[in-house]
Structure 1
Amino acid sequence: MKESTKQLFIYAAIGIIAAGITAYFLYQNRMEFWKVQACSTLRVALAKELHQRSGTEVYFSRNGNISLPTDSSDLKKEPIKVWLKSEFGERDFFIPYEKHIHNIESSSDIQGMHSYLLHIQPLVADSLNRIWENLLTEMEFPGKTIVHISVADWWEHETYTYSDDSLYVAKSDSLISYYLGTRCEVGVTGYLYYPWWMVFTIKDKVLLCILVICCFLLFFIQEYIARVYRRFFVKKIPVIIEKEVPVFVAEKSQAHICQLEKDLHFDADSRKLYWVNTNRFVKLTSLQAKLLQGFLEAENYRLTINDIMKLLWADGSGTSERVHTTIKRLRDCLSEISDWRIVNENLGYQLKSPHSIEEIK
């Protein structure tokens, strides 16, 4: 894979990761907002549902013991003891502290009235859910709501009902539970179901796509800045062109550079085939570099199989299979960065290009 292509993939990966992290935190923020709104609107929906029973006349007198929480019991979160008498007899009830603090009414008189009203006119899950859903729809909530109602009788046996679309309950998050009645015998639990793709608005999705695209553009901006920098700020060294063996001496070590095309160079010392003023290059192995140099120095850029064996394996260990393997690997490297080709000829190979070769000293 070319170096520039690798860099492009890296920038794309950075953009996707950045968009994913942004989407995650945006999702968490949105859902935290909707959970707060859903909790408050569920309580409002309960109040509206109870208000529909406001025409019912209730006459009752309270004659029993209710142990309200003290500071110590509140600190320890102890159960609340309630003594009640009804047509079924007398008994003590112990209400869990968590249920007591989530009763929608703190007044024991109103709690008793709720017990009576909901006994003669029980809550209907579908009706309550419609009120709750309408309140959230006005706030443009994108998901669904589900209501679960549990009712405990005098002997504390519970019955359950769900609103429509209860199949979503397995996928949804339990939001909050509210309780009604003196014994907190009626429990209402709200659920929210919101597929993640529904939480994001069209504007959110467009902005996330722009974030990914911007990371793509960073790659091209970097390339442009690099070219401008090399053009105006990198000092050019004059080069003498000759038709002799492409060798020049620099800092006591012999360098060997061939110009294959206008900007395509081959550095035999570093074994690099590269385009000038860009980051595109291919690193050759020592055998591949020696073979390419042999082609460039040969007449008509042609070498026989025996020539290649002598060039690469002077100890006589070369075989036609090893020659074929080395040729194939050099072909792959050339095709990665240029249009140069190595073609088969009678008992040999020839290096060919659509352009002429200029050698640099």
Structure 2
Amino acid sequence: MLSLRHYKSVNINNMRRINIILLSVTICLGGIVFFLLCRYTHESKKSDVNKKAKETFIKAFGQELKSRDLEEYFSFNYNAKTLLTADMPDSVYFEDEFGKHWYRLDTKKHYMNVTDNANVRSLHSSTFRENPIMVDSLNNIWKKCLQDYDIYVKSGLCVSVTGYDRKVKSMSTLHNSWCNISNQVFTIYVGYACEIEIVGYLNYSIWNMMYMEILIYLLLCAVSVYIIYRTSIYVVMKIKSMRQKEVVQMPVIEFVQEMTNTPIRSYIMHDDVIFYAEQKKIEKLGGTKEKLQPQSCQLLELFFRAKDNDYILTDNDIEKELWGNTGTNNRLHKSVGRLRSSIQKVEPSIDIKRNASGYQLLL
């Protein structure tokens, strides 16, 4: 007969598998929540940094203008007929000693200009046509303005100027090794014809932007995973105790089988196979049940009483118990065969073998 220690070992192994599954599920859920929190925070912070970057650049651009001589005479004009039917002219021209120079206006660039004041735009065009923007100088001013907002990262600019034919005639870039679309924070146009394009870049990483939030989220997710895991284990144990009361009460079963005078006689035959002598049945927990005939039940219980003798019964022992020494060998063999057949319907690994002087129950 298997001991209670073996039975408990099976339950412990099953519980370990459940624990591993629950822990894996909670860790996966915690990882998903951590990823979503980091993504949301990153998008929020990125949007805030981009907004501040544009604000600080406009401030830096204003400081750059203050260093220029803006007393130069200039003239500009536009298509008055188009202006009557649209929010913006379709073209403008500049007039100098060489004549008129026409520009076609782009709607998208028009609404991304650094200012919506037509006179100021013309002032920008006149100023930067004669004295182009110095990328290094403007970037240094912008960098100082960024630091006023506690943004300490590398900054870069790309300035391109479009000619009368709408083709780029000049371009200058600062830190072009990492100035790419992933680090771009804004695009601004300058001039009445939006002929000057300025693209701003910031070289920052996710860790530099939100390292404190990452550490906090990691801590919160770890605590949440532990709480959810412990709660899940508690719930599983409660459900298991409700559904398997017989398994929980197995220690009582083994204790009872030592009390031969009690009307309740139960024996553990295998990991999950129990012989209920009082009810004359063999049952596999959560599985097959087999009803025993009175004589088979009496014979099986007789084998268990021979525990100290390795569950071995002689032919004389069996005949004396079942028939009072009036049985025959044929009746004895049939009785043992009937019991063996009933047992193996529930658990094929349990057998009754013939030896020199009788039979042995092999659990």
TM-score range, shorter chain: 0.5 to 0.7
Q: Cα distance, 1:173 vs. partner?
A: 4.3
The superposition leaves residues 173-203 of structure 1 with CA deviations (integer Å, 9 ceiling, x where unpaired) of 4333222223322221222343222221324
Percent identity over the alignment is 18
| Alignment counterpart, residue 282 of structure 2, candidates 251, 254, 272 | 254
For 1:95, the equivalent position in structure 2 comes to: 105
| Root-mean-square deviation over aligned CA pairs | 4.1
2:53 corresponds to 1:38: yes
Contiguous gaps of at least 5 residues in structure 2: 1-15, 259-265, 269-274, 290-306, 312-340, 342-348, 350-361
| Maintained 8 Å contact 2:83/2:89 | no
| Alignment counterpart, residue 219 of structure 1, candidates 215, 219, 229 | 229
Within 5 Å, which residues of 2 pair with 1:237-252?
239=253, 241-242=256-257, 245-246=267-268, 247-248=275-276
2:190 corresponds to 1:162: no
Indicate the structure (1 or 2) with the bigger Cα radius of gyration.
Answer: 2
TM-score by length of 1: 0.60
| Maintained 8 Å contact 2:267/2:276 | no
**2:114 alignment partner, SS class:** coil
For 1:291, the equivalent position in structure 2 comes to: none
Between the aligned partners of 1:63 and 1:25, the Cα distance in structure 2 is 47
2:139 corresponds to 1:129: yes
Between the aligned partners of 1:24 and 1:189, the Cα distance in structure 2 is 25
Q: Cα distance, 1:299 vs. partner?
A: 7.3
Between the aligned partners of 1:195 and 1:270, the Cα distance in structure 2 is 63
The superposition leaves residues 107-138 of structure 1 with CA deviations (integer Å, 9 ceiling, x where unpaired) of 44333332232133211112222222322233
TM-score by length of 2: 0.60
For 1:338, the equivalent position in structure 2 comes to: none
| Alignment counterpart, residue 71 of structure 2, candidates 55, 58, 69 | 58
| Alignment counterpart, residue 3 of structure 1, candidates 18, 40, 47 | 18
Q: Cα distance, 1:84 vs. partner?
A: 2.4
| Alignment counterpart, residue 32 of structure 2, candidates 9, 17, 27 | 17
Matched AA of 2:207? W
| Alignment counterpart, residue 85 of structure 1, candidates 95, 100, 105 | 95
Normalized per residue, the structure richer in helix is 2
Between the aligned partners of 1:252 and 1:33, the Cα distance in structure 2 is 78
Within 5 Å, which residues of 2 pair with 1:299-314?
none
Between the aligned partners of 2:33 and 2:278, the Cα distance in structure 1 is 46
| Maintained 8 Å contact 1:142/1:199 | no
67 and 212 in structure 1: CA distance in 2 versus 1, 3 angstrom threshold: farther
Between the aligned partners of 1:67 and 1:223, the Cα distance in structure 2 is 78
152 and 28 in structure 1: CA distance in 2 versus 1, 3 angstrom threshold: same
| Alignment counterpart, residue 86 of structure 2, candidates 49, 69, 73 | 73
Between the aligned partners of 2:79 and 2:158, the Cα distance in structure 1 is 28
Contiguous gaps of at least 5 residues in structure 1: 257-266, 272-296, 302-313, 315-326, 328-350, 352-358
5 and 50 in structure 1: CA distance in 2 versus 1, 3 angstrom threshold: same
